[in-house]
Amino acid sequence: MRIAVIGTGYVGLVTGACLAGFGNRVTCVDVDEEKIRGLQEGTVPFYEPGLGDVILSNQRAGRLAFTTALPEAVRDARVCFITVGTPSDVDGSADLQYVLEVAEQIGAALEGPSVVVTKSTVPVGTADRVRHCVARALEARGAGIPFSVASNPEFLREGAAVADFLHPDRVVVGADAPEAEETLRELYSFLPQEKVLFMDIRSAEMTKYAANALLATKISFMNEMARICELVDADVEKVRLGIGSDGRIGYAFISPGCGYGGSCFPKDVRALRHTALQKGYSPRILQAVEDVNEAQKHVLFQKILRHFGGELGGRVLALWGLSFKPNTSDLREASSLVLIQDLLGAGASLRLHDPVALEEARRLLGNRPGLAFLTDHYEALEGADGLVLVTEWDLYKQPDFRLVGQKLREKAVFDGRNQYSGPELRRRGFAYYAIGRP
C-alpha cells in the first residue's frame, strides 16, 4: 500500500518506518528542511531506542523516503496519516492549525481515492473539520476525488515507541465510512484481529484523551498521597506496594515523583479540560490533576531550600536526568526545567547531566551563567553541595556512593524518583530526601 505520513516527529517517524517494515511504500513529509535532510542521510532527529535501525533498513530497501514536498507524497497515497503536533494554545485548547493546514494541503494534492487518517491527538469533532478542509481544497480545484476520513489516535510511549507500535495493547480506529474501515483493517492486518478496535470517530478521538487523563490522574493521586504520607510519617513506597498488589489497582503509573511532564499528559489534560469547559461543564478532577502536578514540580526545590536553611546563594547542585522520563531526549514540559528555573532564581549554580538530552537542554536553556553541562555523571558532582536525581535513567540506579561522597562538597542527596535507600545513604553519612518517604 502507498502511504504518506505528514509530520516526522515521534509518532510520524515510528508509524512510517514500522509500516514500511510490512512492505508498504511510505513517504514521510515534514516542513523542517534540516530534519528531512538529516533523515535522508540516515540521521534520526531524536533519541528513540531501535528507531534508527528500522528507518535505515527500510530506507535501504527503497520502501521509506523522506521529503518536504507534500504533494508528491500524497498524490497517489491510499492512506494519508496526519501526525503533526497539536500543542497547547494559550487558553489550554489543542492548537489545530498544523492539522488543518495539512488537511487543506492534502485536498490540494490528492489525485486518487484516499483515506485521510488523523493520528495526532485531537479533540472530538476534529475529523469533521479535517473532512471539511480536504473537501474545500478539492472543490477549489474542481476535483471530484472520493476520500474518507478516519481517526487513529496513537498510544505509543516515547522510549518504547517502536515496540509499542509493533505490539500495542490495542489500536483504536474511528471510521464512519466502510472504505475507511476496510483500508485500515488491511493496514493493521499485521496485528491479531481482536487488537484492532473499530468504533465511531468521535469515540475514538475521545478515547485518547480519556486514557492520558486517567494515567495523569493516577500519577497526581500518588503524588498527593506522598504529600499526606510525609505529614503522617508513613512511607508512600510501602503504601504503593500495598495498593499495587491489589488486582483491582495494579502498579502502572502509581510511582510518586517530582511531577509528570512530556509532550502528552500536560497538554492533553489541559485540552480535555478546555473541551469540557467549552461545553459548560467544569471538570473538577482534571483541574485537580493539573494543580497537583504543577505544585509537585516545585517539591524538590522546597526540600533543597529547606535543607540549606532557606539560602541557596553560592550553592552548587548537581542534577542527574533532564529528559521528562528515561530513554528519551524529549524535554517538553519536563520537571527538570521547572526545578532549574527555581534553583537559578534562588541563586544556585547547577551542574547538569543527562545520558542523551544534554544537547537539547543546552539548546533550550542556552549557555547562561550558573549552568554547566557535563557529559560524565560523576564529573557533574565535582564540588557540588548536593545531588538531585530528577529522571530515573538506568545509569543512575546503582551509583558508586563512595565516589559520589568523595566528589560532593556536601553529602546531600535529593531523590525525586524514590530510587535510593534512605537508611543505606544515611548510614554512609548522607542527608537524604525523597518523595513521601521518611
Specify the residue, 7 or 174, whose C-beta has the smaller distance to ligand NAD. Answer: 7
**Residue 3 binds to ligand NAD (criterion: CB under 6 A):** no
Residue 254 labeled ligand binder? yes
CB of 157 to ligand NAD, least distance (A): 6
Instruction: Look at the chain and count its residues.
Output: 438
**Residue 31 binds to ligand NAD (criterion: CB under 6 A):** yes
Do 208 and 258 touch, CB atoms closer than 8 A? Answer: no
Residue 325 labeled ligand binder? yes
Build a one-symbol-per-residue string for 141-180: x at contacts with ligand NAD by CB under 6 A, - elsewhere: -------------x-x-x----------------------
Residue 157 labeled ligand binder? yes
Residue 35 labeled ligand binder? yes
Extract the C-alpha cell encoding 73.
Answer: 507524497
- Give the interface segment with ligand NAD, choosing from 27-35, 109-117, 318-326, 428-436 (CB under 6 A): 27-35
Q: How far apart are CA 432 and CA 387, in angstroms?
A: 10
CB of 360 to ligand NAD, least distance (A): 12
**Residue 349 binds to ligand NAD (criterion: CB under 6 A):** no
Q: How far apart are CA 86 and CA 78, in angstroms?
A: 24
Q: Which of 16, 85, 266, 355 touches ligand NAD by CB under 6 A? A: 85
- Give the interface segment with ligand NAD, choosing from 23-31, 133-141, 375-383, 393-401 (CB under 6 A): 23-31
Q: How far apart are CA 63 and CA 59, in angstroms?
A: 6
**Residue 12 binds to ligand NAD (criterion: CB under 6 A):** yes
Q: Which of 83, 93, 114, 255 touches ligand NAD by CB under 6 A? A: 83
CB of 326 to ligand NAD, least distance (A): 14
CB of 191 to ligand NAD, least distance (A): 17
Residue 430 labeled ligand binder? no
Sheet holding 2-6: strands in order across?
Answer: 64-67, 25-29, 2-6, 79-82, 114-118, 147-151, 171-175, 196-199
Between CA 211 and CA 218, with CA 213 as vertex, the angle to 5 degrees is 95
Q: For this structure, is 80 an active site residue?
A: no
Build a one-symbol-per-residue string for 259-298: x at contacts with ligand NAD by CB under 6 A, - elsewhere: ----xx----------------------------------
| Half-sphere exposure of residue 194: CA atoms within 13 angstroms, side-chain side | 0
Residue nearest to ligand NAD (CB): 9
Going by DSSP bridges, is the β-strand pair 349-353/371-373 parallel, antiparallel, or unpaired? parallel
Q: Which of 3, 4, 5, 11 touches ligand NAD by CB under 6 A? A: 11
Extract the C-alpha cell encoding 215.
Answer: 494515567
Size of the site for ligand NAD (CB under 6 A): 26
CB of 365 to ligand NAD, least distance (A): 19
Q: Which of 4, 19, 26, 84 touches ligand NAD by CB under 6 A? A: 84
Q: Catalytic site residues?
A: 264
Site residues (vs ligand NAD, CB under 6 A): 6-12, 29-32, 35, 83-86, 98, 101-102, 120-121, 154, 156, 158, 263-264
Binding residues for NAD(+): 30, 35, 86, 121, 158, 267, 332
